[in-house]
Amino acid sequence: MRYIVLPQAILAMLPPLGNLLVDLLKATSLVSLITLSDLTFEGKILQGTLGHPLEIFALVLVIYFVLNFGLTRLVRLLERRVSYGQGIGRIAREVTVT
């Protein structure tokens, strides 16, 4: 089970897990509508005290982008590590090159 089923299950699980993590991170910004504190809510507080809404929300945008980009890169790295030796990456490269 550990050597046959689990590697295949992890390989099949990683792409949906990456999508779920990105969706979960996006949903946390929607949680601010229910009065829970998150990054967007803190940006609104800073805008109210400091002004400069463009700069503050541009920074919030960059932070969300960095978090999402990091999550997707981490999931891709895990996918490559799990699929090593199975020929999946090699087949995908051959298809895209030709």
Q: What is the pTM of this model?
A: 0.67
Cβ proximity of 68 and 22 under 8 Å:
yes
pLDDT of 88 reads 58
Average pLDDT, whole number, for the chain? 80
10 Å CB burial of residue 46 (0-12, 13-18, 19+) is middle
Cβ proximity of 32 and 38 under 8 Å:
yes
Q: Using CA atoms, how far apart are residues 95 and 49, in angstroms rounded to an integer?
A: 54
Choice among 10-19, 30-39, 48-57, 65-74 with the minimum mean pLDDT: 30-39
Whether residue 89 is predicted with pLDDT greater than 80 in this model: the reply is no
pLDDT of 39 reads 81
pLDDT of 87 reads 65
CATH class of the region 5-97: mainly alpha
pLDDT of 33 reads 59
Q: Using CA atoms, how far apart are residues 78 and 72, in angstroms rounded to an integer?
A: 10
DSSP state of 14: H
- For the chain, percent of residues with pLDDT exceeding 70: 78
